[in-house]
Structures are given as structure tokens and as C-alpha cells.
A and B are shown apart, each in its own frame.
Chain A
Amino acid sequence: MKNKKNEETNSRRNFLKLGLMAGAGTVAATGLLTTGCSSSGEKIKVLTTSGEVMEVDKNYLTLAPVGREESHEGIPGRKFVMVIDLAKCKNARKCVEACQQGHHLPKGEEFMKVYLMQDSEKTAPYWFPKPCYHCDNPQCVSVCPVGATYKRSDGIVLIDNERCIGCKFCMTGCPYSTRVFAWKPDEEYELDQPYSPEKGVPGVEGTVSKCDFCPDMAREGKLPYCASACPMGVIYFGDIDEDVVTNGTETFKFSELIRDRSGYRYLENLGTRPNVYYLPPVDRQFPVERGLDGLDEETRKRFDNTPYVKKLKDKEVKL
């Protein structure tokens, strides 16, 4: 019995080395072997990390999420990165909606937030989508007393909702207000499969949760919910080591995109080394006020206290 188990884990390890290339130089994901599934006869071509093409039975590739233990290791050979093009964002909020839906989040508990930013009085306002930055020097991970939040080899910072004690130290540690706390039990959502930190679902009452970069989607070779939902193609997702990012329609070399468009990271001076880059809002495709159109009352009210909206209201009053 014991030997059989070892064999299984060995073959699983071999499979972890496989890299699945989804499309030309776009996001890649790794297949994982599940135990005890029969062969389907249908073969899928995969590319190994050494560059060889191999044929694998479809049933041997499970789609995520992986279990709690495995979720502590990153997807081998990956280093995820996100690029957000502020020139194209018009606060359509499709990223927020898709994220909410994909992660079964209740209203008011958002992993992806869109801010209306204005750096100083005379500079132009712009829309600013903000996921978790999955920092390389994450304050939240440093301060966690029980290791419930951890950094993986693929750059992703995850939360183990079954270990978190809810001390909220990580929430004060994060300078980007990224994390949300489950203040009350979520009656609407019920877990229908074994829990995995990779599958970001609403946190259990009294624990912390946040944007997880959708590693379960990456394992399937798909983009995160926010990136694929954005109608403007604002959000690019990819691999910093492979030097490639895509929004689903366009694919760029990451380094060239950052070079040509003067990419930067938010609050670089804090030393957290985020893995989310921004492209500055130059040559905009939409005027900023378009982002205020068609918002529901609740969402519109969020921006009422921003200097820009206050100014707009003053103008209306004067007219």
C-alpha cells in the first residue's frame, strides 16, 4: 500500500515538470496528475520544460484547484506578473464583476477595486484598478504569526483560510488596503469541493481573504477573471521570466512593454517590490468622466468625496 502511494507521488512529480503552452508565447499552465483516473484515449500535446513535445492522455491532466498541501508550492518554473494599462481604463467595472462572480464574493467584498485617483491638485485624474500586488517583499507575509499567508515560488501570495486566526495584522501591514475581512458569516456561499487556497472563495467568518491572481485558472491555461473580462484589454497577465504578457487579444514582450510605455509600480518607495506594473495614463482612449457614466447609485457615491467629482459638482452648481 505504501509503495503504491510512493509510485503515485513519483509520477505526479514527473508530471509537474510539464509545462503546457497555451497559444503562442502566452500564459502557460502546468498539468497535474490525479490519482486513480482511467485513460480516455484522447491525447493532448504538451511541451516539457526541456522543450520536448509530449503526448499525454487528457484524463491525466486535472484541472485545478490543487489541494491545500500542494498550494503551498508555486507552479514550477513560473513567475507571474500583471500589467495594468491605465490609458485604457474607463471604469467599466467588468473586472470587478467577473472577479466577484468567479470567486463567489458577496457584494461589498471586493478583491479587485477601481479607484478614482488624482496625484495632486493640478494633475489629471485617472481610473486605477487595484488587485493584490503579490509583492516580492510582502509585509503581510512577514507579520503573519501563523504562516497562514505565504509567498510561493511562482510569486503568488496566498492565504490559507483554514489556518488564519483572524488577527488582522496583515491588513494593517499591507500598505495597499488589499485585504478584506469576513466580518460576518457568508450565508449564500457554500463550499462544494475540498478547500484549496488556490481557489479564492469568500473567507470563512473571522478570517482574511484577498485577490489570489487566480492560480487555479493559470493551471488551466486561462487568464484571471479580471483580465479576460475587461472589454478594453486593460489588464495583461503573464510570466516575467518568459518575458511575456497578454490580455487575451494582444501579446507583448513584458520588458518591451514596460520600456516603451514607461511602466512603473505603485508606491515603489515603500520597498514592497510589487509584481503588478502600471502603464501611465497617457494618450488616453477615454476621457476620465466616462467612467462615471452608467454607474449604479452605490458605486457612484464612492467617488463623491474625491476632489475631481467635488469639482464637477461645483461646476454644475455654478451653471
Chain B
Amino acid sequence: MSSTVSSDKLLREFAPQIEHTSRLGKLWIGFLIVVICYGWFALYWQVSRGHIVTGMRDNVVWGVYIVNFIFFMGISYAGALISGTLHLFHAEWRKPIIRMAEFITIISLLIGPCFIMLCVGRLDRLPNLILFGRIQSPITWDVIAISTDIFGCILFLYLALLRDLGKMRDFAELKVPQWQKKMYKILALGYTGTPDQQIRLKKATDIMAAMVIAIAIIVYSVLAWIFSVTLQPGWHSTIFGPYFVIAAVYSGTGVLIVSMFFFRKAYHLEEHITLQHFVNVGVIMLVLGAFFGYFTFSEYLTKWYGSEKNDEQLIQVLLKNYFFLFILSNYVGVLVPLIVVGFKKLRTIRNITIAAGIVVVALWLNRYLIVVPTLETPYLPIQDSRLAWQHYSATWVEWALTAAGCAMFCLLFTIASKLIPIVQVSDLKEEPLEAGDIYLK
């Protein structure tokens, strides 16, 4: 019986974040809505005037939209892989942060595909993907993989939420509107926490955790293959599948740490999310960073050393036109987390968060440097008098929609945290009785 008491106590602690929104919180939500409206205006602009309002032209046909797509898909896999792996390995410390990782997964998974829609010339013909779909095309693989991933991740998150939803339903003191109480009741699916239910839930969660890891790897590899199946010099690389997977999880740990920092501040979770959590996730980030640096290095080393004509041309453009971005994404983005987390003295919550922020920016730039410079250096030289055809630079429309995408991410994250405790309440103090016996039998 003691466990029920403790989770009630926890619920009482987390109730204010669900019951009230502070003034700062309201301001924050208002700001996000303004940014999203700006994005809607940009979208209207693009739809009414055609893709000519973007910076994309016949050579660079994919721009920041695709970069954002890869980026958001990337952080979503991170959530899946981190929460899935930590769940399977029974890492006890995961409990306060696992909900955040799962929210990141779902929300970015919903936002990512929107960006590829922005890049498509004829949105009215999207049903053709189903009506005339060709399985030979990597885009069809992607459509199948991403929809499977969305389904799998939502299921995984839902299973993880079930116990909390039951708790919320039974928690009489919660002062929320009637519809919200009803929502908890419906969503909880009559879960009361009987031993039988616990075992079944545990089994299902274990299976989904393993599935989500596998799906995430497949989906991100498919995404990488969209690039590497083409003959373009910077893309046609066998390493791209694993490289993208690593880069994805790496960027995801970054986003996780940053959101841990902000939620800890906003909801006063200092007691639950401690330096130890930052260090633990930081160490995961460090390992992934080392892998990412290694992949990046071998990718560019072989190109540079072999110096095949078109590869050499690409490297020259990267080092000439994109020098600072290249250094920032592939050196600073690897070395800073290595140093900050690597040296014990530097391991403070603030430092680790700053390093994670750098990782997030660096990984966005990394994708930009994969997409754009390659398209600027095709096999046949670009001979065009129009500057926009030679060099890509994103227009306000693209930036507005990018900002709106990020704002949407933050908004959905905030709303989610207003509906369900951002820290898993039930798991914090309880484990299903037979947990040890059920695990991967």
C-alpha cells in the first residue's frame, strides 16, 4: 500500500504544473503561437506564389526543408532509441527523464514529415504515392517506414503512459476541467494495476521497446538511402546508413539534455532530475559524439585522400564557401561535448547543457552541409548567369517555416507536459512485482 501513497504524494507535487500555467508560461505559449502564425503566413505565401519564393532552384532542388526533415526525424529516433534501450537495460536512473525522451520522439515525428510536404511541388497529388506507388523507389520505402515508425512510437508511448493515466484518473484532488478528467478515464483503458495487468503491460512494453529500436534504425537508414542511392558525389556513400543513425541519436541526446534543463527549471524538478542524470545522458552523448566524429572523419578522409575529380570539387567548395560552418559542425560539434563531459571538473549542469545546445546546432548544420554543397557541385558544371541558380540561400519563407516548425515542437511539448506529468509518476516509486522474471523471457 505504501507505493500508492508515494505516487499520490508525487502526483500532488506535479499537480500544479497540470492545474495552472504561470504568467511566464502563458507568455511563452503566446510567443510560440505568434511564431507559428508567421509560419502560416509564409506557407500561404509559398502556396499562392509557387516555390519560386524559396531559395531552391534547378540545381539545389532540396534546401532547408529537407534539412529540417532529416533533423526532426533524427531527434525523434533518439527518443526512441534512448528510451527503448534504457528500458530494456533496466537503467533505474532513466525514470525521471524517459517521459521526455518519449515526448520528443512523438512530437518531432509528427513535425518532420510536414517539412518534406513543404518541399513537394504538388501537394494536391500526394494520394498518387498510394495510388501509383512504386516499391522500387526509396521514397516509397520512406513512406512505409515512417508511417510504421509513427504507429510504433505512439504505441510505445501510450503503453508507457497507461499507468500514469490510471493514476491521474484515480487522483481525486486534481483540479482540472471535467473534459480532462474524462479524457484520463477513457485513455486509461480501465487499467487499475492488478498483478495480471502489470505483467501484461510489462511484456507489451518490452516488446515495443525492442521493436522501436529496430524500426528507428531501419527508418533512419532508409532516409539516408534516399541520398546514397543517387550518384551524387557527396551522397553516394556506403557509410550513410549507419552515419545517419549515429548522427540522429547524437542530435537527439542533445535535444534531450536541453529539454531536461528547461523543464527542470520551469517545473522545479531539481529533486528528481539531478546532475547525475545530466552526466549519464552526457556520457551517452559523448560516446555517440565520438562515433559521429569517427564516421564524419572517415567519410571526408576517403573523399579527400582519393580526391576523385568530383569529390575534390566538393571538398574544395566545403572548405572554401562553407569553411566556418564545416568547422562548427564537424569539429566544434564533436570536440566540445568530448571535452565538457570528458573532464570531470567541467561536468556541471550548465556546461553539459551548453555542450548539448552546440551539438543540436552542429548537427543541423551537418545535414545542411550534406544536402546543399553536393547539389551545388553537380557532375556538369553549373553554367548559369542567375546567381540563385549557382548558390542556394534560403529565403525568409523557408526560415519562417523553419522557425514555425521549432515553435510547433516547443508548443506541443509544453501542451503535452500540461496534460500529463513530464516525469513518469508511477514508475518513479513502483516496479511491477515480477519485473525481474518477465524481462525478455
A: which residues have CB within 8 A of B?
108, 113, 115-117, 130, 139, 142-148, 163-169, 171-173, 175-177, 179-185, 204-208, 267, 270, 272, 298-299, 301-306
Contact = CB atoms under 8 A, between A and B. Distances in A.
Contact of B122 (A165, A299, A303): A165
A180 B137 CA distance: 20
Contacts of A146: 125, 128-129, 131-134, 137
A301 B386 CA distance: 9
A139 B380 contact: no
B134 A147 contact: yes
A165 B61 CA distance: 14
A114 B182 CA distance: 68
A166 to B, nearest CB: 2
B193 interface: no
Interface string B99-137: 000000000000000000001111001101101111011
B383 A183 contact: no
A182 B139 contact: no
A115 B380 contact: yes
A184 B52 contact: yes
B378 A175 contact: yes
Contacts of A181: 51, 58, 61, 121
Nearest to B380: A177
A173 B226 CA distance: 9
Contacts of A184: 49-52
B347 interface: no
Contacts of B139: 143, 145, 167, 169
Given A108-B386, A185-B50, A206 B134 contact: no
B313 to A, nearest CB: 13
Contacts of A267: 379
B140 interface: yes
5 contacts: A180-B58, A181-B121, A183-B51, A204-B122, A206-B51
A147 B125 CA distance: 13
A172 B62 contact: yes
Contacts of A304: 385
B138 interface: yes
B119 A183 contact: no
Contacts of A303: 383
B385 A143 contact: no
Contact of B379 (A176, A298, A306): A176
Nearest to B227: A172
B176 interface: no
A315 B236 CA distance: 40
A304 B385 CA distance: 8
Given A115-B381, A165-B129, 16 more contacts: A130-B380, A139-B231, A142-B137, A148-B132, A163-B125, A167-B139, A172-B61, A172-B227, A172-B232, A172-B235, A175-B231, A181-B51, A206-B122, A299-B385, A304-B385, A305-B383
A148 B138 CA distance: 15
B132 A167 contact: no
Contact of B125 (A165, A185, A302): A165
Contacts of B128: 146, 148, 163, 165
A222 B385 CA distance: 33
A302 B132 CA distance: 39
Nearest to B134: A147
B120 A165 contact: yes
B121 A182 contact: yes
A181 B226 CA distance: 19
B55 to A, nearest CB: 11
A231 to B, nearest CB: 22
Contacts of B232: 172, 175
Contacts of A179: 58
A115 B52 contact: no
Contacts of B143: 145
B286 interface: no
Instruction: Count chain B CB atoms within 10 A of each CB in A147, A272, A306 and give the residue with the most.
Output: A147
B57 interface: yes
B126 A165 contact: yes
B394 to A, nearest CB: 15
Q: Closest 5 A-B residue pairs measured CB to CB?
A: A166-B121, A206-B121, A145-B139, A301-B385, A184-B50
B50 A139 contact: no
Contact of A166 (B120, B227, B378): B120
B62 A168 contact: yes
B188 to A, nearest CB: 40
Contact of A143 (B230, B379, B381): B230
A40 to B, nearest CB: 40
A176 B138 CA distance: 20
A254 B126 CA distance: 43
A302 B230 contact: no
